[in-house]
Amino acid sequence: GAGVSQSPRYKVAKRGQDVALRCDPISGHVSLFWYQQALGQGPEFLTYFQNEAQLDKSGLPSDRFFAERPEGSVSTLKIQRTQQEDSAVYLCASSSGHGEYEQYFGPGTRLTVT
Amino acid sequence: DQQVKQNSPSLSVQEGRISILNCDYTNSMFDYFLWYKKYPAEGPTFLISISSIKDKNEDGRFTVFLNKSAKHLSLHIVPSQPGDSAVYFCAASGTYRDDKIIFGKGTRLHILP
């Protein structure tokens, strides 16, 4: 079956612009996670949804970052007034929510803020 | 403070030999450990995992060993193949399933012909 998909794959934004990154999880997966991966680092947790409920947003670096999953499937990560330090790969992952630890990742969106 | 540490940024191994990737962690509350493999321009791919109640898990050429007293785990790949060249991330998760995953910085494995 189809895996996790993300769009766009690459995004260049001028500093101060707003961006929206989309994630389509594996069909039927209850849990959805967003991670940020800076160059040379491992992915770092941003936020977690169970269905449409955002249960953990402790990793969001500032109030410029906002995520939603209104119908419990597709999720959008929005970054307002982008800064150069927001340049990173944004990864989305999903899991079945039925006792699985393993998360399945999408290819990521590489955001470059100029 | 890094909770999951991979102290070797890179490792080169001859094809056919054993590759050993190491990982240390600091949080004794971690309940589950995972290894992910990542190729350029792709997302991490789940490779193998181990529960904290076990000390070994094997899947084909891949074996993960866990030493809880030392807070250390390792991934063994035998025999190493060219397609194994990738970045390997060690990761850990907490007590609750569907919990966030804490990743190390990764080790780049080069398999030499």
User: How far is it, in rounded angstroms, from Cα B4 to Cα A64?
Assistant: 28
> What CATH number does residue A41 fall under?
2.60.40.10
The domain containing residue B62 runs over which residues? 4-112
% of chain B at pLDDT higher than 90: 85
C-beta atoms of A45 and B100 within 8 A: yes
pLDDT of residue B111: 97
Which chain B residues have a beta carbon less than 8 Å from that of A4? 43
pLDDT of residue B96: 62
User: How far is it, in rounded angstroms, from Cα A103 to Cα A35?
Assistant: 12
In a domain, residue A114? The reply is no
pLDDT tens for residues B26-54? 988 898 999 999 999 899 999 999 999 99
Domains in chain B, number: 1
User: How far is it, in rounded angstroms, from Cα B14 to Cα B21?
Assistant: 14
Domains in chain A, number: 1
In a domain, residue A53? The reply is yes
- The answer to whether B98 contacts chain A (CB < 8 Å) is yes
Is A51 a residue whose pLDDT tops 80?
yes
The domain containing residue A29 runs over which residues? 5-100+105-109
In a domain, residue A31? The reply is yes
> What CATH number does residue B37 fall under?
2.60.40.10
Is A98 a residue whose pLDDT tops 80?
no
In a domain, residue A30? The reply is yes
Rounded mean pLDDT of A88-111?
A: 91
In a domain, residue A69? The reply is yes
Is A99 a residue whose pLDDT tops 90?
no
C-beta atoms of B98 and A95 within 8 A: yes
For chain B, the DSSP string reads --SEE---SEEEEETTS-EEEEEEE--TT--EEEEEEE-TTS--EEEEEEETT-SEEEETTEEEEEETTTTEEEEEESS--GGG-EEEEEEEE-SSTT--EEE---EEEEEE-
